[in-house]
Each structure stands twice: as structure tokens, then as C-alpha cells.
Chain A
């Protein structure tokens, strides 16, 4: 049973508000190691230089969007097994399908509750302690 406290998480969103919301929610779930990146490109640099277990990334971002980040993360052997949850602004079926093709592990629709985030994390990692 994975411990939330040992989970290393990278939160990617161009909006500080969203990053803060995800961070706060994660903290409520007991996640302590949380890094942030303001776009896909910064996130990619970050994840390549320092691994994480999970990326929670927005889709629509400047420079490199969420899908691009997902593809790059999956294409790079050292990071390819990082779990990836995509944040979407609405239930955009086409987007989620494309993300699934690129190997996304789950998605989370904004706005979300802590319980929803927990559900998504557990769907990816199993029950958290």
C-alpha cells in the first residue's frame, strides 16, 4: 500500500492558482514532495533532471502543452514510467482519447474536489495511506 508521504509529485500548470489548488489538495492527502512547473517545457526539464512518481499536468499551456509533455515523458526511457494525470478544463472527449493514446494514466476535470483527486490517485497507485 503506497504511502502518500513518499509520493513525489510534479504539478504543471501555467496558472499559479491551479498549481496552488492542486498543491493544497495533494497536501491534504498527505503528499509532501510537490514540485511545480509553469509549462510543459519547464516540467520536462524538471522531470529529466529529477525524477518523480507522478505528473499532474494541465493540458492547455504555452510553449509545450500537456499532450506534448506526456509524449516527451513517455518517449524518454528514464521518465517513461512516470504516472501521468491530465487536468482538463472540461470533459473534452477528443482530448482525453488522444491523451489515452499517448499513455495517460487518468484525467481530472477542473474544478475538482480533494475526494476526486484522491480517487484519481488511487486509481493510478492503489489505496493511499
Chain B
């Protein structure tokens, strides 16, 4: 990849950030924060997209961004009001801008031209207030990016050369003022530029130079008279002086023609500045130079490019500023420094660290088996190594951690589009955008969240009429929140809509044969029926939340991430979906247990307590289902080895260990194992990619001795497998 292509990649990455920023700022505008700073930020984002797109010749993108930018320019100058209609248009324009960027990247085949053109028309309408857009050449002027098309001289009232005047040459009388030198301009270069236009004769008048004792080095006292023997356009001459014309006295006279004097520029630059320009330079400098309050110019040996005698970049290079305390000034706030790293490199690092963790565990085990004393140097060293390994692992994981913002920021657009489609008024509230989670998890969150938001708007919220009839505001609210809870990330999607119609859900479930007609279900169980495979409440599968995908698919995609989903609903008040996901898909704190001949891992976050079953605490419901007393309650006791098929006959509970676990839904149960072997952090290896999905098993890991151990999916075991395993002919071996 050449440098240009690499920068293009950077550009598109930056575009994502700019779009996110754009969206966030537009949301602020929508919420009524229409201050100049916010409008300016929106302008800047669009402007930056356009600037970069121009550099890469992405013309469609440039064209759209330009129209967008032009309206923003009108808004920030206050020429056009930033009203609700405008903001709505801006929001839709940002969506189309995102499409254009995607199209430029080749991520989507093409932009919806009709939509884009309609938006362009809308933006132009707002920009020009219904008047016809300005003439084409004006557009070109802005657009052509033709550096040469720009001509400072155009603005000067007397700059236009008299067309009938046929000058055969020019006399340029040029007297630099001190400030021209101060701005790092040089007479020599200007003379050289003039020399390019044709043969010149230069006369230097140094008569104004004072004697040495009166000489001030900062003043200009030389006057140059240049006779140019070429019939060039006066504009070409003025171009030479573009950047110095206000810093010098300049008189240009055609030779052999009438006088065409340019009055010397006497006015002080500051005088023509807008009054609003109230930048406090002194304060700025004081702030920037930090502790170095007293001016120490002499201590900074900046070898400026000296104008005389010959233009030369100062060599040697600027002397190191060792003597100046400036660089070391402590009060200079360090800017946050970031680097961009290829994700592959991070993943490679994570893999290696995973192997390191396993190796370290194996080594510890070997040392343990070798019979070395725990106090031996090797054992102690290994303990330190373990701490370090863990620290490395945490640090590496932190590299991959990303705020969920990137996903959340895509949602306002979705909500707008879905709300438009179903003619509902929706306000999206997002909370906890900065909550961090592993990059893989972030990426895979987008789809389920999208689906559930669609669902909330399509099914959850009522129409404005229905809402008003129910005594609610016409506008419904959907809340998307992220938070950390006990080592997991929790995503909540709630609406203030009608809530789940339990009667209807139950009826559909019965009709579809999902439950028995007389099944005694709690409200919570009814609510959770919507996750059942084959369940879809929409009478007609709508285009919005239907798409042939039910909540069961959402549930499965969440489970594939090691997550859980649950719902709570209050009729008339709304529903809340709660997703809970691991922070990372790479490591897990687990309890190592033995079941039959197998070694298994129970995820530590699910474990409440472990206990040794006593015969007195054991009971059998209906003579078959074993339960165990745990703090004045009875919990189902699940023989894991039995339901996993590791053995044919159940073990005697008093011979084993019971581990009390809690599911995401808050359901508790006791898992029966042969023994607990220890507790350790394990590196998760996908069983699906290496073998196949096994019910009740979330993933696998490699133990210290090199064996593979299965990581239990506690929720599935407690809620689903237990029921299936209980066969009618099941009898306890007593």
C-alpha cells in the first residue's frame, strides 16, 4: 500500500469519527443547544470531510459536502436561522453524507441518488431561502479549488488595469516597512519574482538610511525602484506583492503610458479588522508558554531564516534549546497522545498473551507436582510471574476496550428512519455511551440493539393518537443505556409505550403450540415467551421489526456472545429489555471442578457459594427431583455429570460438592460436582470454531496440564437442560 492509499485509509477512519461527532453535535442542536460553538463544530466536521474528500478526488462526496457546508456557513454567520425545520434537514443530510462516505469507500454499491438529490435541493432551498441559487460561475468559484483563480487584486478598487492602456513596461517603486521584515518576508525574493516576469533594472535608494547611531534594525529604510521591461498584466505584478502589499509602500507606474498609481497602504492592519475579533493574544501566549512568563527571547536561539543577503534556510538547524527552560516547563498541559495500531497486531498480542497465561499455569502446575516447597525460590518467583502475567493480560485487554459510543451513535439515525416509517414521534435518550467493552463485543452489539430498537418503536410505542388518548405525551421515549455491572456490560433498551399485552402473547403461544393451554405461567414467564423460537406477535410481518427475524434470533445472537437477555414489562407503562454480556470474549475467571472423569470450568461470576450437601438437607420433589436446602429455601440440585452424559447413573449427592449458581434471570440452583479443584483465570477458546456447539457448554479452555476443559453455560444448564434430563422413569439410586 503506497503512502497515498494509507492516508486514504486514515481519511475514512477519520470520517467515521467526524460523522460520529457530527451526529452528536446535531443531536445537541436538536435539543435546542443552537449556540455558535455547536453550529461551528457541525460546520467543521462537514468541512473536514469535504477537504479530505477533495484531496482524494471523491467528487460526489465533495459535491454533497459542499452544499451541506454552504448551509452551515449561512447558519454560523447568522444569516439564516437554525430552526427546527433546518435541523431536521441537517439530520437527514448527515445520513446522506454518511451514505456518500460509505459509497466512496465501496462499502455500499451506490448512494440513493434520488434521496441525495432531494436533500441537495432542500439544503439549497434553505441556503438561498427560496431564491434561485446564485449563478453557476459563483458556484464554480467556490468549488473549483483553483488556487490560481483567486486573485487578491480583484478587490482593490484601482487594481484593474486600464484596458486601452498599452504599457510596454512597468516601474515599480517599492519601500518595505519594518513590519514586512517582521513577518518573515524578504525583498530579495520579491525582486526575484519580478525578475521572472521579464528583464528588470533595479535601483536601490538608501538615502533614507540614518547614520549608524540612529539606525533601528527593525525599521525599513530602503526604497527599491524596479523597471520591468515587459508588457505583462498588472495583475501579475500585484500577485507578486500579494502578501506584502499592506506592509510596504508600493507604486506601480506603466512605462510609456499614463500613470496608474497604487496609493501606498497607509492604514494599520488592525484598523480594518472586524470589531468582534477579540482574541486575547497576550493571554494566549502566556497560557501557551506556561511557566515561562517573563520574556526570554534571547535564550531561544532560533536561527530564523535571515532575509539578507541571500535567502538561505538557516544552517545549521535550530540550535537545541537546552539552555532555555521553556521545553521543560511543567505547567504545559500535555496533549493526550494516541497512536493508531492495526487491529491485527493487537489481536496477535492478545493471542500470545493468552498462550503466556496457559504456559504460566502449566509451569505452576509442574512446579506444584514436582514437590517443591511453596516457599522455595522457584515457587515464589512463579507467584510473581503470575501477578505480572495477569497485569499484562489486563493491559492488553484494555487496549481492545472501546466505548460503546460507536454503536450508540448509529442509533439516532435508525430511530429517525423507523419513526418516520411508522409515523410515530420518538425521542431517543442514550446513557452511558462511554462504557467500555471489548471491541469484538462492541461490534456484535450493533445488530441486536438495532433489532430491539426497531421492535421498541414498532411494537412498544403507541401512535401519537393512542398516546394522547392514554394521557401520555404524543412523543414516545426510547432509552438506550449501557452500564457495567458485576464484571459484565449491561445494555438496557426501554420504552414508555404500551407494555407487553400478556393476554395476547399467551394466546399466540397457545395457538402456536408453544405452551399448553392450561400452563400456569408467571407474568415474567409470559413476557419471556416472545423469545421463544417461532414466536412473532406482529399480525403482519412488518418491514421494520419483522424482517423474518424473531426475538429468538436476537436471543441466540446474544447467547453466542456469552450474553443473556431478559425482559420486564408493565402494562401501559412500557417495557425494558436487558442484555448482559461479558466484557471480553477472551478470558474468564472460573472455578475448576471435576465431574465424573471430566474437568469442567464454572464461570466465577455465576457462582454464589459452594457447600457440601448433608443428607438432612436433601429432599426429592415427587420422589425424583433432588432439591437442597440453602438458606431456608430449596434449590434444585443438578447432577452436571449426569445431564451432560458423563455417567449413566446419578451420584450420591453427599459424596460431592454443591455449587450454588445464579442465572442472569436471577434464578438460583445448585450444581452437583465430584470435587472443586481450584480457581483460575482461563483463556476462552471457542468450541464452535474448533469443534461444534454443544448444549450446556459455553466454550473451552486449555488447562495447565495441557488438557482441554469445557466451560459450562450455567444458564442453559439451569433453565433448559435440567427439565429435559428429567425422564419419567428416572429413579434415584439410593
Contacts and interface: CB of A to CB of B under 8 A. Distances in A.
B246 A100 contact: yes
A62 B329 CA distance: 24
B706 interface: no
Given A42-B335, A90-B142, A2 B10 contact: no
Contact of A49 (B296, B310, B314, B329): B329
Given A6-B313, A78-B297, A83-B305, A91 B149 contact: yes
Interface string B281-316: 110110111101001110010111100001111111
Which of A15, A60, A110 has the largest count of B CB atoms less than 10 A from its CB? A15
B150 interface: yes
B243 A21 contact: no
A15 B155 contact: no
Contact of B243 (A98, A105, A110): A105
B624 interface: no
A102 B284 contact: no
A93 B156 CA distance: 12
Contacts of B296: 78
Contact of B150 (A2, A45, A93): A93
B315 A3 contact: yes
Size range of the interface on B? 35 or more
Contacts of A90: 142-143, 145
Given A14-B48, A49-B326, A78-B300, A125 B313 contact: yes
B242 interface: yes
A111 B329 contact: no
Interface string B51-89: 110111100000000000000000000000000000000
Nearest to B52: A17
Interface string B308-333: 00111111111001000011010010
Contacts of A12: none
A110 B51 contact: yes
Contacts of A118: none
B48 A109 contact: no
A2 B55 CA distance: 28
A18 B18 CA distance: 14
Interface in A1-51: 1-4, 6-8, 14-18, 20-21, 24, 33, 38, 41-42, 44-45, 48-51
Interface string A74-117: 11111111111000011101001110111111101111100010
A123 B242 CA distance: 11
B189 A124 contact: yes
Given A6-B314, A20-B7, A84 B288 contact: no
Contact of B51 (A41, A89, A102, A126): A89
Contacts of B273: 98, 101
A49 to B, nearest CB: 4
A1 B188 CA distance: 12
B47 interface: yes
A125 B305 contact: yes
A128 to B, nearest CB: 8
Contacts of A79: 302
Contact of B311 (A45, A96, A126): A126
A17 B295 contact: no
Contact of B147 (A33, A64, A109): A109
Contacts of A56: none
Contact of A104 (B154, B243, B311): B243
Interface in B1-27: 3-4, 6-7, 10-11, 14
B152 interface: yes
B48 A2 contact: no
Contacts of B335: 38, 42, 45
Contacts of A108: 147
A71 B284 CA distance: 10
27 contacts: A2-B305, A6-B314, A15-B14, A18-B55, A49-B327, A53-B313, A53-B318, A60-B44, A68-B281, A71-B279, A77-B297, A80-B182, A81-B183, A81-B184, A82-B184, A84-B183, A91-B142, A91-B150, A96-B150, A100-B245, A100-B246, A101-B246, A103-B184, A105-B183, A110-B51, A110-B55, A123-B189
Listed from nearest, the 5 A-B pairs whose CB atoms lie closest are: A2-B313, A103-B183, A91-B150, A51-B302, A126-B311
Interface of A: 1-4, 6-8, 14-18, 20-21, 24, 33, 38, 41-42, 44-45, 48-53, 60-62, 64, 68, 71-72, 74-84, 89-91, 93, 96-98, 100-106, 108-112, 116, 123-126
Given A45-B335, A89-B51, A126-B186, 19 more contacts: A3-B313, A17-B7, A45-B290, A48-B289, A68-B284, A72-B285, A75-B282, A77-B295, A81-B182, A82-B304, A90-B143, A91-B150, A93-B152, A96-B150, A101-B269, A103-B179, A111-B56, A111-B57, A124-B184
